Amino acid sequence: MIKGLDHVAIAVKDLDETLKFYLDTFGFNGNEVEHETVEEQGVKACLIPLGNCYLELLEPLGPETTVGRFIAREGEKLHHICFESDDVQAELTRVANLGLDLIDKTPRRGLAGMIGFLHPRSTRGILIELVQKVTHEGGVVAATVEGRRIRILIAKPGLDGHDRGAKVVARALRDAGMEVIYTGIRQSPDMITEAALQEDVDAIGLSILSGAHMELCPRLLNLMKQKGLEDIPLFLGGIIPDEDIPVLQKMGIKGIFGPGTPTSKIIEFVKSLPIKR
């Protein structure tokens, strides 16, 4: 079954230059852009989050790669569109039975998950990709609430400027099929509350390494209550002393994760949250 549009891909000669154009021209958040080099596909790629889907930029690693030959032949332009499926093998079989020609008869691993391409001669001249989201550990994604993706806000409150862990968690949740909004560093509780309200999120994850969790968490929880957001689960990652954990849990923090926690554990926790919408 097709669940919706996952991304639109554009073949480009210079990924960094093109990315700068889109960020500067349209104001997209550069902090949320994901980069990856896929040697087996011969591309350097990035994914720009756009609400419930992505814009993908593809730069060839050489002129003899598939995307390199495409640019030599067609120039920089739309390369393909991608639809998300909950079972890409079943979908490939279904469209093959309808008489469409396949480039991939069985799914293979791609940047976005397990993928399969349909030949453009059967799809009105447009290269179409199908994707089934998987986690880094290889598990199939099951991260929707009433037919939509779970929407998570990841924020770093306080003065701490170290955000590698927050970005790792944001990437893992996004790879698990969730929609993730990363607000960046040095966010105040007021800013986080306003972002949660404006973005209509299902849960909020905080990364705090500064030791200010006992000050920041109560302030944030109080602001969320004032804004009518008290039903939104709040979870926390960082360096949290053992004696603070039961106090934070009593405040209303639903999950607390220390350094070195596997991202798979955080993903399963988020999937288990009691989303009340």
**14-51: per-residue pLDDT in tens?**
999 999 999 999 998 887 788 888 887 889 999 998 87
Asked which of 27-31, 85-89, 251-255 is least confident by mean pLDDT, the reply is 27-31
144-272 adopts what CATH topology?
Answer: Rossmann fold (3.40.50)
Q: What is the CATH number of domain 2-132?
A: 3.10.180.10
Domain ranges of the chain: 2-132, 144-272
Does the pTM of the predicted model rise above 0.75?
no
Distances (CA, A) of 104 to 67, 115, 255, 268: 17, 8, 41, 31
* Average pLDDT of the residues of the chain: 87
**The tokens of 189 are what?**
């509780």
Q: What is the pLDDT of residues 121-176, one digit of tens each?
A: 999 999 999 998 765 444 444 344 455 678 899 999 987 777 888 888 988 888 77
- Torsions phi, psi of 22, nearest 5? -70, -40
Q: Is 265 exposed, middle or buried (0-12, 13-18, 19+ CB in 10 A)?
A: exposed
- DSSP calls for 165-223: HHHHHHHHHHHTT-EEEE--SSB-HHHHHHHHHHHT-SEEEEEE-SS-HHHHHHHHHHH
Does the pLDDT value for residue 239 go beyond 80?
Answer: yes
